[in-house]
Amino acid sequence: MAKEKIRVRYAPSPTGHLHIGNARTALFNYLFARHNKGTLVLRIEDTDLARNVKGGSESQMENLHWLGIDWDEGPDKGGEYGPYRQSERKAIYNKYIKQLLDAGKAYYSYETEDELEAQREEQRAMGIAPHYTYEYEGMTAEEIKSSQVAAEAKGLKPVVRIYIPEMENYEWDDIVKGQLSFESDTIGGDFVIQKRDGMPTYNFAVVVDDHLMEITHVFRGDDHVSNTPKQLVVYEALGWQPPKFGHMTLIINADTGKKLSKRDESLLQFIEQYRDLGYLPEAMFNFITLLGWSPVGEKEIYNQREFIKQFDPKRLSKSPAAFDQKKLEWINNQYIKNADRDVLLDLALNNLQEAGLVEANPEPKQIEWVRQLVNIYAVQMSYTKQITDLAKIFFERPAALTDAEIAEIKKDEARPVITTFKDELAKRPRFTAVQAMQAIQATRQVTGVKGRKLFMPIRIAATRSMVGPGLGEAIELMGKETVMAHLDQTLAELTKAGL
RNA sequence: GACCCGUUGGUCAAGCGGUUAAGACACAGCCCUUUCACGGCUGUAACAUGGGUUCAAAUCCCGUACGGGUCACCA
């Protein structure tokens, strides 16, 4: 018998940009689907009309693609299980809601939100779990009917609730967490499956869709563990077979130890923000995959194909993973060092333009100049935006010398070194890194100074900084005019200081 | 508060009854080097806790502590 085709889904609600946590859920579903040569479905869960953000689903899809995640069925791709937006599936849900109503497995509920809130408040005060208590307790069918008629007469609109069987145990073998079980009385009471506005609730729509779309495995966040028994109630009421569930741990903030909250601003949480800083998609993919999942070997850097080949949900961690910014930076740096230089140039140019350091429409010559800058700094950038800071000396007017710099050029040999170097440099036919290095060698010959005592004064005088890339390259990139001006300025400062 | 879940160095983690308890990030030192970085080497540092079970426990069981998740007409 042929093994059943694996079908998984990623089901975001379009309430904003792609969040790290959601990206991770999408990623693991993607890896699982590809590893098993299965199908990945993208379904948009937009049943809360009020919270839907315009362009939200497009933004999410765009960022998913950027990360290198693609899917086989979805609102943009179609497929035989569509439509793939829940807001377009209302008729489908209604059919099953009616079925449950007719079978006496669900009922109309007229209690208002205020009444329910008061009820929960009371329960909390009593120290018991807030839950819905059956509003028709002890009533006969006749009494229920007349209560509902009375409510309608008052102009109340009902919601539909599903009956939760008493004394039942809901359990499943979670792919990540193992055996899990909930007693039916801890689920929280008969829950709403259709809201007053006629839309289904999440816990109902998910079940209908997962079943109809023939989803075989559901990988989602840990925060859905307690939704699972509710969904199991729906599966049972409808007489359907549930898929396999796997609940992945949440990503937490290392400082607070709490689940990443979208409101937490101490940390960048949206894929787009990393994208803007010049993180590479392959690096993000690599980093996120290693968050809460571990491969077999000892490597840290894997490409997508290796991840797909290796992916095994059994190796998903049971305890939450903290988001380690430093590690992300390290991983991204690994990728940057090997990245295509045109890609880096493009990103860095963008960052430099946004920082106002390079004009909007640079001449080819300037682009070439930036290319060299990127080449020089690539090894040390964690993300391309850092170039705006790393390469400061190439863009800013020199500041006054720092104490440390003064200490370096205070030495007796400094002045002759700088003067000699200036003359040597001026003599050179061309202004290149090679020529600059030759000028330095000539300076060494003339003055007899070498090592740090030779290089430091020149570096400080020429680039007005103690740190930077190789001296030759730095001088070439800085340009003759600037370097000469720096040398003159430094010499003047030395004179002024009486050195 | 109730219900679920978790706990190996600062962080991510390997481990599946016998290990000198991997590896990576971070941190420190050394080497390379004109500087910073890169790279190389070395080091600091962990099984939450108390009881069992067992010849043997980070690994299995129970309790405790701590942490997290959820308790909506949000997903």
Give phi and psi for A114, each to the nearest 5: -65, -45
The pLDDT assigned to A409 comes to 80
d(CA A453, CA A259): 53
Supply A438's token pair: 């030759």
Q: For A159 and B39, how far is CA from C1' in angstroms?
A: 66
Residue nearest to nucleotide B3 (CA to C1'): A186
Which bases on strand B have an atom closer than 7 Å to a protein beta carbon? 1-8, 10-15, 22-26, 34-39, 67-75
Distance A352 CA to B28 C1' (A): 35
Handedness of CA A105, A111, A113, A116 (dihedral sign): negative
Name the nucleotide nearest A206; use CA and C1'. B75
**Separation of A379 CA and B38 C1' (Å):** 6
pLDDT at A3: 59
Our measurement of CA A5 to C1' B22, in angstroms, reads 37
List the pLDDT tens digit at each of the 499 positions of chain A.
345 799 999 999 998 899 999 999 999 999 999 999 999 999 999 999 889 999 999 999 999 999 999 999 999 999 999 899 999 999 999 999 999 999 999 999 999 989 999 988 888 888 788 899 999 999 999 999 999 999 999 999 999 999 999 889 999 999 999 999 999 999 999 999 999 999 999 999 999 999 999 999 999 999 999 999 999 999 999 999 999 999 999 898 887 878 887 777 778 889 999 999 999 999 999 999 999 899 998 899 999 999 999 999 999 999 999 999 999 999 999 999 999 999 999 999 999 999 999 999 999 999 999 999 999 999 999 999 999 999 988 998 877 788 788 888 877 778 889 999 999 999 888 899 999 999 999 999 998 888 888 999 999 999 999 889 999 999 999 999 999 999 999 988 888 877 6
| A85 vs A73: CA distance, rounded Å | 11
Are the beta carbons of A286 and A301 closer than 8 angstroms? Answer: yes
Say which nucleotide is closest to residue A113, CA to C1' distance: B73
A319: nearest nucleotide, CA–C1' criterion: B6
Measure, in angstroms, how far nucleotide B74 C1' is from residue A201 CA: 9
Nucleotide with C1' nearest the A454 CA: B34
Which nucleotide is nearest, taking the CA of residue A109 and each C1'? B73
Closest-lying nucleotide for A117 based on CA to C1': B72
The model carries a pTM of 0.93
What burial letters (b/e) apply to A312-351, b meaning 16+ CB within 10 Å? ebeebeeebbebeeeebbebbbbbbeebeeeebbebbbeb
List Cβ neighbours of A372 (8 Å cut-off, separation of 6 or more): A473, A477
Count of other CB atoms within 10 angstroms of residue A136? 16
d(CA A321, CA A381) in angstroms, rounded, equals 25
Residue nearest to nucleotide B1 (CA to C1'): A127
CA A388 to C1' B74 (Å) is 41
User: Å from A189 (CA) to B2 (C1')?
Assistant: 13
A459 closest CA partner among A473, A445, A438: A473
DSSP tally for chain A: helices H, then strands E: 20, 11
Calculate the angstrom distance between C1' of B35 and CA of A424. 22
Cα separation, A380 vs A469, whole angstroms: 10
Cα(A189)–Cα(A170) distance, integer angstroms: 14
* ipTM for the assembly: 0.94
Rounded (10°) angle between helices A202-212 and A228-238: 60
